[in-house]
Amino acid sequence: MAKHSVAEAKNRLPELIDLALKGEEVVITRHGHPVAELKAVVGQPKVLTDEELDRLAERRVGRVLPKEDAGTCVSRMRDEEWNR
């Protein structure tokens, strides 16, 4: 675990971020006491471009769009049950 003062962290922030991205624990201290921790953000979803979305839509297999919206479907199912 690497500990760095606020002043040191301010001067070396890009380097400390690189350490965090490599999985190292980076703790920022103020007056010798831990106050913050830098760590990598994992699992960020990738934002798809319009071109990628179009390509996925073209390759979609077996997807059938519903003929009615969810509210209409629930009402129909409720009415069918009610009439039994």
Token pair, residue 44, equals 């960020």
Q: Is the pLDDT of residue 84 over 70?
A: no
In-domain check, residue 23: yes
- Per-residue pLDDT tens over the stretch 2-18: 899 999 999 999 999 99
Which DSSP string do the residues of 58-77 spell out, in sequence order? HT--S----SS-HHHHHHHH
Say if residue 34 is in the same domain as residue 59: no
Domain residues for 17? 2-38
Q: 76: which residues sit within 8 A by CB, 6+ positions away?
A: 68
Count of structural domains, the chain: 2
In-domain check, residue 45: no
pTM: 0.50
Indicate which CATH number applies to the domain containing 31. Answer: 3.40.1620.10
